[in-house]
Structure 1
Amino acid sequence: MDKLTVEQRRKNMQAVRAFGSKIETALAKALFAQGLRYRKNDRTVFGKPDLTFKKYKLAVFVDSEFWHGKDWETKKYDHKSNQEFWLTKIERNIERDNEVNEKLIAEGWKVLRFWGKDITKNLDKCITKIQKTINETERKNIN
């Protein structure tokens, strides 16, 4: 049984954004401030990564803990209402994330995924990881 009315639930679900979330924007602005240029939600790249560095074939995804199933094995039964729907939905999201990773890697891309909490708590570490990946790619391209 849902604790919210149908209208309240509808309003909550409409507020969920496919892109341009606070965590995604925070990472993008910090990278831009570092002088890194990227494309946001590039549809020409499989999986439509949140940030794309085509020159380096680097795809960056910003995943929220809820929608992408962080610690899923321990939290999967935390859903009290409409459990069957949420199990199916989030497990499919996890499966899709893995499919996207595999396809991009097979095409020669490097894939970085960050959890939302990692960005909000350790933004500098996330930026450093992206810069390190770009620097490694540049070194390989020079040799």
Structure 2
Amino acid sequence: MDTLNAEQRSLNMAKIHSKDTKPEVFLRSALHKAGFRFRKNDKRYLGTPDIFLPHYNAVIFIHGCFWHGHKNCRLFRLPKTNVEFWKNKIERNIARDRKVISAYLDNCYRVAVVWECSITGKQKEQKLSKVTEEISLWLEEDLTENYREF
């Protein structure tokens, strides 16, 4: 059962934006400190990637676990109200994600997906540092892996 009434829930959902979310800002800041230069939320590119690294021919998407249906994640759970709507919405998001990622891979781009749960939580600083280091290695050294999830 929802603890908020319909009006309160609507206000909460309206506050959620598609860009410049906290996980995006945290990761962009960490990558910038690590020396990476990039474009953010550039609408010229398919799917408006959260981070586009032209030097590495790579894109990074930062996915919210709820909105993108992160399987087996503590942050993803279908709401108990209006279940059919949410199920369809999240399934459409997942299908769109697959289509966009496939298009980038088909065009010889490297694609990374960073899940919200991997850079937030109680040990946020350590998680963020670890993911930043892994992305750095992936971009600089692991040139054989075109798709990676963090």
1:18 corresponds to: 18
Q: How many residues align?
A: 138
What one-letter code is carried by the residue in structure 2 that aligns with 1:134? Answer: L
What one-letter code is carried by the residue in structure 1 that aligns with 2:59? Answer: A
What one-letter code is carried by the residue in structure 2 that aligns with 1:86? Answer: W
**Which residues of 2 match residues 68-107 of structure 1 at below 5 A?**
68-71=68-71, 78-107=78-107
Higher helix fraction (1 or 2): 1
119, 129, 133: which one pairs with 1:128?
A: 133
Larger Rg: 1
1:30 corresponds to: 30
What one-letter code is carried by the residue in structure 2 that aligns with 1:111? Answer: V
Please, which moves more after superposition, 82-91 or 35-44? 35-44
What percentage of residue pairs aligned between the two structures are identical? 37
Structure 1 residues 68-96: Cα deviation after superposition (integer angstroms, max 9, x where no partner)? 10116999874210000000000111111
**Structure 2 stretches lacking a partner, 5+ long:** 144-150
Q: CA deviation at 1:54?
A: 1.2
Contact 1:56 1:137 in 2 (8 A): no
Q: CA deviation at 1:44?
A: 1.5
- Assess, with a 3 A threshold, how the Cα gap between structure 1 residues 77 and 25 changes in structure 2: closer, same or farther: closer
Contact 2:78 2:86 in 1 (8 A): no
SS of residue paired to 1:66: coil
Rounded Cα–Cα distance in structure 2 between residues aligned with 1:36 and 1:75:
29
Rounded Cα–Cα distance in structure 1 between residues aligned with 2:128 and 2:51:
15
Rounded Cα–Cα distance in structure 2 between residues aligned with 1:73 and 1:116:
10
Tell me which stretches of 4 or more aligned residues in structure 1 moved more than 3 Å. 72-78
Question: Normalized against structure 1, the TM-score is what?
Answer: 0.86
